[in-house]
Chains A and B, each alone.
Chain A
Amino acid sequence: MKKNKSDLIRYLFFLSAILSIALIILISFFLFKEGTVIFKEVGFLNFILGKDWSPTNTPSSFGILPMILGSLYITLIAILIGGPVGIITAVFLVYYTKDKHYRFLKSIINLMAGIPSIIYGFFGMVVLVPAVRYLFPSNGNSILTAGILLSIMILPTVINLSEVAIRAVPRFYYEGALALGSSKERSIFKVVLPAAKSGVISSLILGIGRAVGETMAVVMVAGNQPRMPKGIFKGARTLTTNIVMEMSYASGVHRNALIGTAVVLFMIILIINLVFTIFKERNVNG
């Protein structure tokens, strides 16, 4: 009787464990099944390298290069701003805060991670867009604005993972550097951070993944013009916003093209995760 019960529990656990694996396989299967239709229709290379997205024109054209580049530029700006700020914040949390302040700051950062992206989007719309419009001659809905907003949104990811990596560096490296007459800053930036390098890089990679996938906040500030990006003060559309803006009314080939966009996005995320895993492995191995 007892044995049967423990067996049952074991199976229950096993089922829960394979549920998530089954789900990811299911998602991939249907996404690729539906999404690859467009690749056959217009050709994979034409699809991802095509510069013209006019799904409702006759003849229609389905090129998502503008969106790929839009995602790329916005993510690049996000990581160029959010990366350094996040890493320095993590250093601050580990080496410059007292316990009491640390707990306060940490709870704020965790709160940041929990704020719905639509709220960030709203903040971007009422604060960042006017600010960019004021500072640079543009209408404010731009690659730069979206990049800045995303740089804020990826901070919790970068900070928390970098913090773990920095904290994992043995204290005696830091003390060893100080004992050589090295300043606190030099000890941290020349000894501790290099020792935490792979963990810090994986935090950036995960931040990139988060930025690439973000939708709601971006759609509210990026301008969303489906054309080749024309500079950081001009609007652009990303892979995610391309889908969310048109899915509600698309049908037929147009709908297939949007699912195809999702497939491309999914592949980018898979690649990012693969790179992340490689860096994480390296961290473990020394």
Chain B
Amino acid sequence: MSKIKIKDFNLFYDNFQGLKNINMNIEENKITAFIGPSGCGKSSLLKSINRMNDLVDSCVTNGNIYFDDKDIMKTDVTQLRKEIGMVFQNPNPFPMSIYNNIAYGPRTHGIKSKEELDKIVESSLRKAALYDEVKDSIHKSALKLSGGQQQRLCIARALAIEPEVLLLDEPTSALDPISTLKIEELLQSLKDDYTIVIVTHNMQQALRISDNTGFFLNGELIEFNETDKLFTFPENEKTENYITGRFG
């Protein structure tokens, strides 16, 4: 079943066309990876799904993205971002305690009761496999955590608002291999409850964790298929050149 449907989607930065006529369906409770060389548009597409591109003044789009059959441009943007959480390339915990980082989202959406917040904080940390490491320092600054822990905290923070979709923009590119592995395991365990879209530079990562993969080049979606098929029998020559390391 498709959670997100992208139809005839174009995106421009001033006169530069960043995405050209993208059509794809992102399936529920699957991990979908976007791969491709730098500047191919994969991050632009990811940021279009929760409308973070609204922040870029020069960015204009046409075509439609549907989330559960609702047009995202016609949805209230704060509600949309509550349902579609995002994790960024560089871990960006707020300069406050671990607890307040996670409680920020729920508080934003109206939860005030301390007991309820306590519960959310604990369960989010557990879901992000961080609870055991930080349970004694939950009121200490989040900036004291290691990079990998910070990124898992950001995932916990995104989960705390109970989204249905999780967007991750190269979440491990700033992390060491062990932290990367932990995050990959985490994503695997989360996909039963969430629809996950991950942008990655790392083809091995896409191969390891994703169910479906889209290959982007120069703003076009060259090929979109089940990950196994795309990596073993690519239909398009450009895909084959890319995954065999001939460019990119």
Instruction: Check if B108 sits within 8 Å of A194, measured CB to CB.
Output: no
Question: Which residues of B, 96-146, contact A by the 8 Å Cβ criterion?
Answer: 96, 104-105, 108-109, 143
Interchain CA distance A183-B154 in the complex, whole Å: 18
Bound-complex Cα distance A182 to B105 (A): 7
Are B81 and A173 neighbours in the complex by a CB distance under 8 Å?
no
**A180 CB within 8 Å of chain B:** yes
Q: Which of A170, A178, A186 contacts B81 (CB 8 A)?
A: A178
The answer to whether A180 touches B52, judged by C-beta atoms less than 8 angstroms apart, is: no
Docked Cα-Cα span, A186 to B93, in Å, equals 16
Q: Which residue of B lies closest to A179 (CB)?
A: B86
The minimal Cβ–Cβ distance linking A112 to chain B, given in whole angstroms, is: 28
Q: For chain B, which range describes its interface: under 10, 10 to 19, 20 to 34, or 35 or more residues? A: 20 to 34
Question: A177 contacts which chain B residues (CB < 8 A)?
Answer: 94, 104
Min distance, Cβ A173 to any Cβ of chain B, angstroms: 6
A178 to B105: give the CA distance in the assembly, Å.
Answer: 10
In the complex, chain B residues whose CB is within 8 Å of the CB of A170: 92
CB distance from B174 to the nearest CB of A (A): 12
A114 CB within 8 Å of chain B: no
Contact among B85, B88, B108, B143 with A172 in the assembled complex (CB-CB below 8 Å): B88
Instruction: Compute how far the CA of A194 lies from the CA of B92 in the bound complex, rounded to whole angstroms.
Output: 15
**Chain B neighbourhood of A176, CB < 8 A:** 88, 92-94, 154, 157
- CB pair A182–B92 under 8 Å, yes or no, is no
B78 in contact (CB, < 8 A): yes
**Interface residue tally for chain A (C-beta within 8 Å):** 19
Q: Name the residue on A nearest B78 (C-beta).
A: A181
Cross-chain contact A191 with B104 (CB below 8 angstroms): yes
Question: Are A180 and B108 touching (Cβ within 8 A)?
Answer: yes
Q: Quick check: is A211 within 8 A (CB to CB) of the other chain?
A: no
The verdict on B95 contacting chain A, using a C-beta distance below 8 Å, is yes
User: In the complex, what residues of A have CB within 8 A of residue B143's CB?
Assistant: 286
Is B82 an interface position by the 8 A CB rule?
Answer: yes
Establish whether residues B81 and A181, one from each chain, have CB atoms under 8 Å apart when the complex forms: yes
The CA-CA distance from A173 to B161 in the complex, in Å, is: 17
Asked if B94 contacts A195 (CB within 8 A), the reply is yes
A191–B93 alpha-carbon span in the complex (Å): 10
Chain A positions within 8 Å of B26 at CB level: none
Bound-state CA distance A172–B80 (Å) is: 19
Contact across chains for B90 and A179 when beta carbons are under 8 A apart: no
Bound Cα distance A190, B107 (Å): 11
List of A residues within 8 angstroms of B94 by Cβ: 173, 176-177, 191, 195
**What is the distance, in angstroms, from A82's C-beta to the closest C-beta of chain B?**
27
Q: Are B52 and A195 in contact (CB under 8 A)?
A: no
| A281 partner residues in chain B, CB cutoff 8 A | none
Q: Shortest CB–CB separation between residue B87 and chain A, in angstroms? A: 8
* B236 contacts A by Cβ under 8 Å: no
Judge whether B161 and A181 touch: CB under 8 Å: yes
Q: Are B85 and A179 in contact (CB under 8 A)?
A: yes
Task: List the B side residues contacting A175 at CB < 8 Å.
Answer: 52, 55, 88, 92
Closest 3 pairs between A and B when the two form their complex, measured CB to CB: A181-B82, A181-B81, A172-B92
Q: Which residues of B contact A (CB under 8 A)?
A: 50, 52, 55, 57, 78-82, 85-86, 88, 90, 92-96, 104-105, 108-109, 143, 154, 157-158, 161
Additional 15 contacts, C-beta under 8 A, given A178-B81, A179-B50, A180-B108:
A172-B92, A173-B92, A175-B88, A176-B88, A176-B94, A179-B52, A179-B81, A179-B85, A180-B82, A180-B85, A180-B104, A180-B157, A181-B82, A190-B104, A191-B94
